C-alpha cells in the first residue's frame, strides 16, 4: 500500500518556521495502530489523516504518543495542502472531527482562518512542583482547561523559560501554556507537552482556544495579534466571536512523497 504524505510549516510564511505537520490523505481509515505508528515514525508534533466525505472531510490528528482531541496547526496544514496541492477549489473547507465537532477553514488571500471552539480556562490551584519544573517564578494567575495555563506580566519571563522536560512530563495533563502581554503584539505564549511526546510545540492552535478568550477579556478587545515565542516562532491573527475563536495564519509546503506499507 502506498500512502501520499505531505509536510507543511503552519502559522508562518517562512520555510523552517512555524510548526511542521505531516498530512496523509486516505481513501478510508487505516487501523488506529497503523496511524499511530506512522505518527511515531514521522516524529513530528502532529500527523493529520483525512478522508473525503459528501460534506467535506473527516479529520484526525496523532502525536507520536496518542491521538489528540484538537489540533490547530495540523488543521491549517491540511487545509493548505488541500488548497495548494490537491486541487480544492472552494474557499471554505468543513472538517468533521471525533471530539471537537465541525471545524471550518476559510482561505482569505494568503492567510487561512480557522474557526475553532472557545475553551475559556478556569482559575485553579497550581499543582505542587509545577513552577520548579518550569524553572519559573510563581505566576500572576494559574488556570486550566484541557491544559495548564500560567500567566506572567513580563514577556522576558516567557522568553527565558528553560523547563525540566522530564519533570514536566510527570504532570497528568496534555500541555502547559505560559503566557504574558507582548512587547510587539497583544500577547505571547509558549507550549510544552512532554507527556504527548512533544517537549516544546512550536505553534499551538489548540492552546489559543484558551488564550484568545482569556486575553480578549483582560485587554478589553476581541481582535488580537499574537506570537508563539518558540525557536521556530509562529504568528497568529486572532478574534473572539462568542463561543468560537478565529485564528488566521499562513503556511508553506516543505515536502511531498509516499509512505510504503
Tally the residues of the chain: 261
Buried b (16+ CB within 10 A) or exposed e, 121-142: beeeeeeeebeebbebeebeeb
* Cα R_g (the chain), whole angstroms: 18
Annotated active-site residue in 46, 155, 200, 235:
46
Instruction: Work out whether the CA dihedral 143, 147, 148, 153 comes out positive or negative.
Output: negative
Pair 80, 93: CB distance under 8 Å: no
Distance CA 169, CA 43 (A): 17
Is residue 67 among the annotated active site residues? Answer: no
Cα dihedral 111→11→247→50 (10° resolution) = 90
Distance CA 256, CA 237 (A): 28
Structural element, H or E, at residue 137:
none
Tell me which residue of 43, 80, 36 sits closest to 60, measured CA to CA: 36
Tell me which residues are annotated as active site. 46
Amino acid at each position: 500500500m502506498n500512502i501520499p504524505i505531505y509536510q507543511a510549516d503552519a502559522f508562518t510564511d517562512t520555510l523552517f518556521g512555524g510548526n511542521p505537520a505531516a498530512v496523509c490523505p486516505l481513501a478510508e481509515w487505516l487501523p488506529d495502530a497503523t496511524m499511530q505508528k506512522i505518527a511515531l515514525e514521522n516524529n513530528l508534533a502532529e500527523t493529520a489523516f483525512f478522508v473525503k466525505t459528501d460534506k467535506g472531510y473527516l479529520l484526525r490528528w496523532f502525536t507520536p504518543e496518542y491521538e489528540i482531541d484538537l489540533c490547530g496547526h495540523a488543521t491549517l496544514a491540511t487545509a493548505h495542502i488541500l488548497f495548494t496541492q490537491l486541487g480544492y477549489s472552494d474557499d471554505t473547507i468543513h472538517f468533521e472531527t471525533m471530539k471537537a465537532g465541525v471545524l471550518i477553514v476559510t482561505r482569505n488571500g494568503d492567510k487561512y482562518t480557522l474557526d475553532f471552539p472557545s475553551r475559556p480556562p478556569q482559575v485553579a490551584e497550581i499543582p505542587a512542583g509545577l513552577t520548579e519544573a518550569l524553572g519559573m517564578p510563581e505566576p500572576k494567575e494559574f488556570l486550566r482547561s484541557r491544559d495548564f495555563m500560567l500567566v506572567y506580566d513580563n514577556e522576558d519571563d516567557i522568553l527565558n523559560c528553560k523547563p525540566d522536560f522530564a519533570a514536566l512530563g510527570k504532570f497528568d495533563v496534555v500541555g502547559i501554556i505560559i503566557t504574558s502581554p507582548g512587547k510587539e503584539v497583544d500577547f505571547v505564549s509558549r507550549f510544552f507537552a512532554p507527556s504527548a511526546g512533544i517537549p516544546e510545540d512550536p505553534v499551538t492552535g489548540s492552546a489559543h482556544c484558551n488564550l484568545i478568550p482569556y486575553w480578549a477579556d483582560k485587554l478589553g478587545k476581541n481582535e488580537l495579534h499574537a506570537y508563539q515565542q518558540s525557536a521556530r516562532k509562529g504568528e497568529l491573527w486572532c478574534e473572539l466571536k462568542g463561543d468560537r475563536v478565529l485564528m488566521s495564519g499562513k503556511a508553506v509546503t516543505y515536502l511531498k512523497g509516499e509512505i510504503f506499507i
